[in-house]
Structure 1
């Protein structure tokens, strides 16, 4: 069952021998989002939100790949002052929320795409969490935004982000391929790039996330390393297939089959871990 698959830990979200540090977690989404915000801060937002700059040497905290190592770094998931939280990126908010949701049995998965609430960008590269409660569909949570609404174009419940405010990489890819959208509107502002080459990478990373492999936004392998203008028809077709699955959020069996049958889509061992 799809929900059961996403209710279980991945290799990335599993706290392993540190699960005792998660005893007593609340079991509802708003409270768990608050736990995450008490443990993680975005490394680029601290000055305008909290009045301090993260030292450059602390930027490496966002390179902690596995949740177990995040828990070890923090010493638990208790709330702490902003300058003592993990200095991360949107991925750290999402991986931590995914992990604590799964820890209490709530299906959760990371999704890569583009949000429209980071002006002046029409659609900026971002990661969120989809979670499943009573159905009939997945809902979106953006744990990074709750304490930052006044700094962005956030006029909605960040624990239930409207679908029209976030598009998956698959939706963006298909809109551009079909001529319904200009690729230039999809940006990765942190690296000052936009267009199909940017979307291409996120399509592959999002497929990995649907396979319960939560990667860094800057991880690159296989089809991501190919210049968009040099992609063959076969490679474009494969990306179209990945995008169609990403746009629909599954079905899970198709996401797994496509990922497993095509080495160009599969993350290397150092990303997968063990």
Structure 2
């Protein structure tokens, strides 16, 4: 799918998020969506029947075979739908045994919900940020779905993984908002992290890069690495120019509708942010690092 350059702050801004990306496009498996409910919360209820979060598998002490361990590395929705069908030929409104659910993480729940809503021409997008309701002691990195409420004329946030609405920043704060708060001295960087012993501003800047890619319809895995995130060791401070780049993005996202064309231009021209064809991927389930060609993976159209 060819990316369009948006030059106005009109409904074209929302049209961008109605279109499927290479990742969210269900392709020949779009028929799976035709009999699903229309509301995000109702759709998310059914997603629980076909997907299961890796944390739940771990807490239950279930040992996965190689095929199921690799499912969390699935990027394109079309491939995820293929795996759902391979696991069981049951409709989505039938609860499946754990052994027949695809083991994923929060990003897959959010991306699949986003795909279903876009299929219905509802503007939707994946958002990376931090949730206050997942782990005690800090706001945990998390991925949710945002969709446009045409009646209220605003974005609504819903967590399809835990089935919770995220109406304000006290529950889910987007990565750009967390970055703004830290840089202004309003928020404590130790509030945000990946685990109790992995917290700080560096976690937020990693998620700013991932969130900005998702806002540009590149909905990557939670452990994919490219650009700015591959330049520094995990907790190294940013060079001033790189910090200013994230400052600029975070500032413009405060009024993203007006600044949409400028934000798109920043993403397309800056290799520190733009997802390239070849990325590193480091699944936290295995610890290994590998190079991935996103075109061959089906996650990027050839250019």
Equivalent residue runs for 1:84-233 within 5 Å: 84-134=100-150, 135-146=152-163, 158-159=164-165, 161-189=167-195, 192-227=197-232, 229-233=236-240
Cα root mean square deviation, aligned: 2.2
Q: 1:59 aligns with which of 69, 84, 88?
A: 69
Cα contact 1:170–1:245 (8 A) shared by 2 = no
Farther off after superposition, 125-134 or 29-38: 29-38
* CA distance 1:132–1:223, change in 2 (3 Å): same
Contact 1:204 1:242 in 2 (8 A): no
Partner of 1:83: 99
Gapped runs of 5+ residues in structure 1?
147-157
2:261 aligns to what?
A: 253
Cα distance in structure 2, aligned partners of 1:103 and 1:183: 37
Indicate the SS of the match to 2:272.
helix
Q: Aligned pair in 2 of structure 1 residues 105, 72: CA closer, same or farther (>3 Å)?
A: same
> How big is each residue's C-alpha offset from its partner over 1:60-87, in whole Å with a ceiling of 9 and x where there is no partner?
2110010000011111762433331110
The equivalent residue for 1:70 is 80
- Alpha-carbon separation, structure 2, partners of 1:212 and 1:161: 22
Matches within 5 A, 1:260-271: 260-269=268-277, 270-271=293-294
**1 CA distance for matches of 2:204 and 2:58?**
29
**1: CA distance between counterparts of 2:45 and 2:237?**
45
Query: d(CA) in 1 for partners of 2:240 and 2:58?
Result: 46
Helix, strand or coil for the counterpart of 1:258?
helix
**CA shift for structure 1 position 177:** 1.3
Contact 1:116 1:123 in 2 (8 A): yes
Contact preservation (8 Å) 1:140, 1:161 = yes
TM-score with structure 2 setting the length = 0.79
Change (3 A) 1:260 1:18: same
Structure 1 residues 214, 31: closer, same or farther in 2, change over 3 A?
same
1:66-120 CA distances to partner (integer Å, 9 max, x unpaired)? Answer: 0000011111762433331110000111111111111122111010110100231
